[in-house]
Structure 1
Amino acid sequence: MRAVREPNHVHPAAPGAPARWLTVAPERTVLGVIHNVTSATRLLDLLAVFEGDRRVQTVFTCTGSSPFADGIAEFVAARELPFLTWEEASKLEFDLAVSTSRGGELQSISAPLIGAPHGAGYNKRLSSREPGAGSREPGPGAGSREPGAFGLTAEWLVYDGELIPSAVVLSHEEQLARLRAGCPEALPVAHVVGDPCMDRLRASLPFRAEYRSALGVRPDQKLLLLSTTWGRTSLLGAAGDLVRRALAELPHDSFRVLAAVHPNAWYGHGGWQLRSWLRPHVDAGLLLPPPAGDTWQAALCAADAFIGDHGSVSLYAAGLGLPGLLGAFDEQTVAADSPMARLGAALPRVSPTAPLSAQLERAARRKPADPRLAEIAAQITSRPGEALSRLRRLCYRTLGLAEPAAPLLPRPVDVPLDLPRPRHSPVAAPQFVEAEATTPSAPGPGPDPGPTRVLIRRYPALLQADTAHHPHLADAHLAVTDGEPEARWARAADVVTARHRATGAARSASPLAELLARHPGCTLAAAPEPSGACLLRTRNGTTYQASWESGVSWATPSLTASAVYACLLRHGDGWTGEAEVRLTPEGAPGLLRVRCVGAGTGGLEDTAE
């Protein structure tokens, strides 16, 4: 990454630059050290301690030691960070440096260095001898200790016999014992400040409704968060089919699914490639926010459950009390006796055969009764709500400045704005629809017991695995839109909906008869009318008009057709009546009125063979 300046020009905010170049005259200069996008996002969280203080100028550099360098230039440019090349930064003196990674030649920085984690504490094992772990060569004796947590061993904290950081930031007292085992010489400079990300998440919980609304999650829906770290043993690397499975098995109208992808996975393969691989899933409703923002934090506060792996997001999710499952978990890369290791022992793994909905229900039932999960949550931070204030105290003491008088409290996560707009195909994707119609039982002879109750569950047909075992589709019918490009779906459809409204002379049943003729397997055809009602026709010629009571925003023509289909199977051909339709058991119903406007021959069952 290169700065766009003449070779002989220094950055105006760099130490030693002519004072006349700056509008504000800061008293101290802080260097923010970026390793990759992952570390950069946490770095900005920590540097919030200087907000509002014109005495402090912050500039940034990048060690250039991470194999995941893609995305850094865009991250820096999007946030307009004043940037120095590593060559420039390593020749200058600063009043303080802050790094959220141990990679790179940090010993070259001329400044007191505060080292902090870029995740939920210190949970991973990593040797500097591994390719891509960092460019620093191991010093004498490096790697000779029993492998400990990345960031808590001499391998990462000592260079040429000297400590690299002036301060090691910890989130919990339990890390002191592990630091003592991995690098006892660093204990005098260790500071337990807490976890600023966990503090921010907890401060955001009161705004759960706002996050859910921004993510497009209705009050009667559940949000499932799929969290994946990077590497072959991550959820995406080892169990990537779980993304498809979640969208295929969980009812489309009851669940929204969001994938929180680790920046190293995103930028290691490229954002275009990730979106290309997941395109069928995004088309089926997957929310896929870019990882450089904090949408994943808003999603954690909005979620009802999670499926994760050995990444920090899983630990934060458990810490917030979300029920969860593990889609993958690599014990070999997790530090022994860490909170992450305990999480791996506590959470159940996803079964490849049991229905996913049943597994999530079991996780929700067992979560309150498992004391291990409460103990793990308590190990994320031992200074809840205090991380930023304690870190500010440490930074200002190092800078030799008086702290600002105003208190520093964790702020809620911003409402997400970075979700890409979903693509809109001219032809709706085919869906399997499970439409359960029941009639309220009457106590005896008397008035009509009321509308037929219909519960709709829809599943994307394109994501169903090519196997004969689909228990969630046992009683489903196939609904498509006229013009469906894949013949296998068009031929097999039970219900077909026209794309265009029936107007003028076309409001007769003849266009519906033509629609039925083009789809020989179809039992019921539907076309929207200008009034908002639907005209429907069975293969035996019976014609219906169906209209909704006002205010049903989710009532599409295809859904109308599926609801009528269920009612006709329940009551028989020629039925006239009302149906109370729901998309979820907890959701508000819509009232559908169905009127038979033209008799046919035979029953609906005769046409469904």
Structure 2
Amino acid sequence: MPDTGASRVSYVPLRDDAARWTTASPVRTVLGVIHNVTSATRLLDLLEPFEGDPRVQVVFTCTGSSAFEAGIREFMTARELPCISWEMALGEKFDLAVSSSRGGELQKIDAPLVGAPHGAGYNKYLQRNRKPETGNRKPETGNRKPEAFGLDAEWLTHDGELIPSAIVLSHDEQRERLRRGCPEAVPRSVVAGDPCMDRLRASLPFREEYRAALGLRPGQKLLVLTSTWGPHSLLGANMDLVRRALAELPSDEYRVLAAVHPNVWYGHGGWQLRAWLAPFLRAGLILPSPDTDVWKAALVAADAFAGDHGSLTLYAAALGVPGLLGAFGEDVVAKDSPMDRLGAALARVAPDVPLERQLARAAAGRAGDERLDGIGALVTSRPMRSAELLRRLYYSRMELPEPEQPAVPRPVALPLPLPAERHGPVAPAAYADARSTADGGLELRRYPAALQDAVTGHLPDPHLVTAEGEPDSRWSRTADVVLARPPARGETFREAAERVFREHPGCWLAAFAGEQANSCVAFTRDGGRTTARWTGAAPPDPVAVAASALYALPDGDRVVVTVAGLPCVLERPAG
């Protein structure tokens, strides 16, 4: 049985006899310091400049200082991060340490420490929760206002001594705020840009690839809801906006993705978050795991966003995506920071105006908006150079020559197919808004029925479509159109339709999938029967769309039905 005593170094590259056991022969060891999953995702961006250099071994540790410790072990295991305990980390000497958070007793690390932000710069206030045993940290004096988290002496010093040997800034403007918050730290500041912003910009030429990877059909629009954590966040202060986005935006034309801060997932539990959002997930909400880069792909693919005071909102605005604010924590946003300016520039979501109209206004106003362009430019003053500048900083501190190959930002990896949401056998009830076009065709827009609220008046005269077997009597008894199950063995279509009419007292039209592909057999309560089929391109959900078209336009042998900008021809053969 191997020796597991505390006095023995169990991690191979740190053993005194490491040369006997290792395959590569690193000459420098770097410590990656993790505070929580949020900081870990940023840390991996910061460590990319070491890729391809076998002279450098990176090991990771966790400070154990975050209230959001859940998920860290799973994150590290899934990425096979070589990990050592915090106690072991404090007992070893490293050539460099990199941290994207200020939490924990970083002053005890025996290495030159590089401190970097874990978001889009420094934009929020945060006070340290002082424990009795750390009361030797000198309190703030006088009436000086605190600076943003990461730029204030409270987070940069211990017993009057600076903790980091280098403080990474993403923009020159942060240096003046650092001067106000901790003037003695200015000589240690390094403006090195923003690696995340650089990767987002490097990804822009591949927008269509990201859209396809996220499952968007041609012509669909993507709305990204960005929520940080806390009571002032989008989910904390305005979770109803998620409902509104799915209820008011036509489901064939829009996809809605919620990019939720890891602290929400790990603070409340993933199961709980999904339970809260279950009605929205059933209506098609995309909810990617918080420990992946899917949110980056989504921002590149987005047509619009609605956010709050989190970093993702600032990144989206910097990419030029039009957007709105669904919530904003003025009290936690640092004065005169880029986020503070963004809060003053973006319109708030109005409760009584259709959301689609508000998004259209935001899109119309975004092009050429110099104020938003200027705020976006404050994310980094070294665009597309962060990998280069971070690597220069790291290798100079390690006193190691840089690799010969250039350090360049790489596009974000294409998302793997998103896990399909589990769903029941009954399709959600939907309201269909069918409107005649000038050329005699029909434009159809569909909306989840269960999420509706009449406040904005976005559905002037819809009809209700539900599936046979719908358990909610609100829909099953009042539906105008019922999508029927196939006839039972020995049952004719007409007999099955009569059963549907008996069980659904409000139903006028019962529709079945026809025997041919993309065809539909429909019956009306007065005994009429129609067979219809799509010629050429078929719309999504062809039987349901055909049923709504037949309900809205009961006459005519041919109609062009437009769904999500796609014109499709529905024919009713004679006889």
- TM-score normalised by the shorter chain: which range applies? over 0.9
Q: Which residue of 2 aligns with 1:607?
A: none
Contact 1:11–1:17 (8 Å) recurs in 2: no
- Match among 549, 553, 566 for residue 588 of structure 1: 566
TM-score, normalised to structure 2's length?
Answer: 0.96
Q: Which residue of 1 aligns with 2:329?
A: 330
Task: Report the CA distance between 1:503 and its aligned residue.
Answer: 8.4
Q: Which residue of 2 aligns with 1:480?
A: 466
User: How many percent identity over aligned positions?
Assistant: 56
Contact 2:171–2:381 (8 Å) recurs in 1: yes
The CA deviation string for residues 203-227 of structure 1, in whole angstroms up to 9 with x for no partner, is 0011110111111112211100000
> Counterparts of 1:172-571 in structure 2 under 5 Å?
172-417=171-416, 419-438=418-437, 440=439, 452-465=440-453, 468-469=454-455, 471-500=457-486, 502=487, 506-532=491-517, 533-552=519-538, 554-568=540-554
1:551 and 1:19 mapped to 2: Cα distance?
Answer: 65
1:552 to 1:513, Cα distance in 2 relative to 1, 3 A: same
Contact 1:125–1:335 (8 Å) recurs in 2: yes
Task: Report the CA distance between 1:509 and its aligned residue.
Answer: 2.3
Q: Which residue of 2 aligns with 1:601?
A: none
Q: Which amino acid aligns with 1:580?
A: V
Task: Report the CA distance between 1:139 and its aligned residue.
Answer: 1.6
Task: Report the CA distance between 1:130 and its aligned residue.
Answer: 7.0
2:417 and 2:109 mapped to 1: Cα distance?
Answer: 35
Task: Report the CA distance between 1:422 and its aligned residue.
Answer: 2.1
Secondary structure (helix, strand or coil) at the match of 2:367 reads helix
1:409 and 1:163 mapped to 2: Cα distance?
Answer: 31
1:233 to 1:566, Cα distance in 2 relative to 1, 3 A: same
2:457 and 2:23 mapped to 1: Cα distance?
Answer: 68
Secondary structure (helix, strand or coil) at the match of 1:13 reads helix
Gaps of 5+ in 1: 441-451, 569-574, 598-609
1:331 and 1:413 mapped to 2: Cα distance?
Answer: 31
Q: Which amino acid aligns with 2:568?
A: G
Q: Which residue of 1 aligns with 2:12?
A: 12
Q: Which amino acid aligns with 1:90?
A: L
1:583 and 1:424 mapped to 2: Cα distance?
Answer: 24
Contact 1:211–1:415 (8 Å) recurs in 2: yes
Contact 2:521–2:530 (8 Å) recurs in 1: yes
Contact 1:503–1:529 (8 Å) recurs in 2: no
Task: Report the CA distance between 1:366 and its aligned residue.
Answer: 1.4
- Match among 135, 139, 143 for residue 141 of structure 1: 139
1:193 and 1:366 mapped to 2: Cα distance?
Answer: 32
Q: Which amino acid aligns with 2:558?
A: E
Contact 2:226–2:305 (8 Å) recurs in 1: yes
1:15 and 1:137 mapped to 2: Cα distance?
Answer: 36
Contact 2:539–2:545 (8 Å) recurs in 1: no
Say how many residue pairs are matched: 570
Deviates more, 1:551-560 or 1:43-52: 551-560
Q: Which amino acid aligns with 1:214?
A: A
Secondary structure (helix, strand or coil) at the match of 1:328 reads coil
Contact 1:14–1:59 (8 Å) recurs in 2: no
Q: Which residue of 2 aligns with 1:577?
A: 557
Task: Report the CA distance between 1:372 and its aligned residue.
Answer: 1.1
Task: Report the CA distance between 1:436 and its aligned residue.
Answer: 1.3
1:458 to 1:174, Cα distance in 2 relative to 1, 3 A: same
2:297 and 2:141 mapped to 1: Cα distance?
Answer: 39
Task: Report the CA distance between 1:10 and its aligned residue.
Answer: 2.2
Contact 1:138–1:155 (8 Å) recurs in 2: no
1:153 and 1:203 mapped to 2: Cα distance?
Answer: 32
2:559 and 2:372 mapped to 1: Cα distance?
Answer: 44
1:358 and 1:6 mapped to 2: Cα distance?
Answer: 65
1:138 to 1:372, Cα distance in 2 relative to 1, 3 A: farther
Q: Which amino acid aligns with 1:522?
A: C
Gaps of 5+ in 2: none
1:363 to 1:549, Cα distance in 2 relative to 1, 3 A: same
Task: Report the CA distance between 1:235 and its aligned residue.
Answer: 0.4
Q: Which amino acid aligns with 1:303?
A: A
1:138 and 1:421 mapped to 2: Cα distance?
Answer: 52
1:126 and 1:197 mapped to 2: Cα distance?
Answer: 22
Contact 1:430–1:461 (8 Å) recurs in 2: yes
Secondary structure (helix, strand or coil) at the match of 1:77 reads helix
1:477 to 1:393, Cα distance in 2 relative to 1, 3 A: same
Q: Which amino acid aligns with 1:545?
A: T
Contact 2:9–2:15 (8 Å) recurs in 1: no
